[in-house]
Amino acid sequence: MFEYFPGNYVWNLGVVATLNSGGLIDEVDRACRPLRDLAASGSDVGTAQFMAAWRAVADQLEQQAAEAERAGRTRTAGQKYFRASVYVSQAERMQSARDPGRNAEYQRSVDLLVKSLALTDPLTSKVEIPYSADGRQVCLPAYFRNASPGGGPAPAAIMWNGLDSTKEMMIGSGFHQELAARGISTLMVDCPGSGEALRLRGLTARADTEVWAAACVDWLQARPDVRADRIGLVGWSLGGYYAPRAAAFEKRLALVVAWGGNHDWGAVQKRRLAREGENPVPHYWDHVLWVWGETDLDAFIDKAAAITLDGVAEKITCPFLITHGEKDRQIPLEYARRSYDQAVNSPKRELRVFTPAEGAAEHIGLDHLPHVAAFTADWIEGTLAGLDGAPGR
């Protein structure tokens, strides 16, 4: 993995994620260069300065985008709004849950991305997924990339994030465009506990992910441009637990992908308490308690014991792909292997391990994200074709 800040895994992860999600190396370097000495103090110290440095680059891009838009150069404007959104989004991800300014930064990343989509990608739009939480009727925020502009029914994939990523980062990954090129629509959702669902709507995470899976499937099946019997589910990072758990109980799903095998996330938390492995974000325990709506760490660790696919994976009865980086420093490879070994009732199960020689060997392949995205999109396309009795490409 490219390590701009020697010894600071968390900050390096943010840099690499940005470069693999549409960021440009010159702009990332201009944001990071003033932070080099500060990075040596650890991942928690200096996150406010990190936000300020990345915001300055985003400010310049937004100004350039506005000038291009006024001049009628809409594609250039959209591209600059997009990268500004990427930088704000990645820097906001690094802030403490206690930071009173982070929600405003997050909202800015959304606004910039929506501007970009309107100018460069009108087939992707912001949508709302009706969802019931704690007796309340609420909505999960999402983006939908329509791969059937003619209106005929097309297969679709639901995409979920993990502990700290957002639906804006899903757009940055370009995965929805890979699927669209294969004739597959994509619904990119901020799960409870992430992105806009957490920051602006107060929806915290829960272990029974089939509940919000059902809401996503309901929404897609109500659309005439979606093929109701060909809806898949992809989840990365903590989504590597969320998605297989949902597929075990939501039988309308045609396939499932764990983009990073996250079989026993509760056990991983105990390892992190023992300082085994790397954390994904600064201020880690504050972030985790925020995501899960807890205030006491011991109570959370007890609650996290239920976040496991033990006794669940064998209930998966649809095709199941697990991808994992051989050198994942957050989630050991053994967890991906355990999901594969236990999913004995999947009619098509595959574990794809990415190696350092090819890239994508880090967590969810962030060191070479397009490589994992292309493989996963090909697998989904081939699997859907197989379900229809046609040979996969």
**Of 210, 390, 205, 214, nearest in space to 304 by CA:** 205
Distance CA 86, CA 173 (A): 10
Residue 391 burial (CB count, 10 A) = 7
Q: Contact, 217 vs 243, CB < 8 A?
A: no
What is the pLDDT, as a whole number, of residue 291?
Answer: 97
Question: Domain ranges in the chain?
Answer: 1-122, 123-393
Instruction: Tell me how far the alpha carbon of residue 348 is from its chain's centroid.
Output: 24
Q: Contact, 49 vs 39, CB < 8 A?
A: no
Q: What is the pLDDT of residues 258-315, one digit of tens each?
A: 999 999 999 999 999 998 889 999 999 999 999 999 999 999 999 999 999 999 999 9
What is the pLDDT, as a whole number, of residue 233?
Answer: 98
Q: What is the pLDDT of residues 344-363, one digit of tens each?
A: 999 999 999 999 999 999 99
Residue 295 burial (CB count, 10 A) = 8
CATH superfamily, region 123-393: Alpha/Beta hydrolase fold, catalytic domain (3.40.50.1820)
What is the pLDDT, as a whole number, of residue 393?
Answer: 47
What is the pLDDT, as a whole number, of residue 149?
Answer: 79
What is the pLDDT, as a whole number, of residue 391?
Answer: 65
Distance CA 259, CA 352 (A): 10
- On whether the 1-122 domain is CATH 3.30.1370, my answer is no
What is the pLDDT, as a whole number, of residue 356?
Answer: 97
Residues of the chain with pLDDT under 70: 390-393
Specify which residues 137 forms β-bridges with. Answer: 132
Q: Residue written as tokens 């909202």?
A: 107
What is the pLDDT, as a whole number, of residue 392?
Answer: 52
Q: Which pairing describes strands 320-325 and 124-133: parallel, antiparallel, or unpaired?
A: unpaired
**Of 166, 72, 35, 187, nearest in space to 112 by CA:** 166
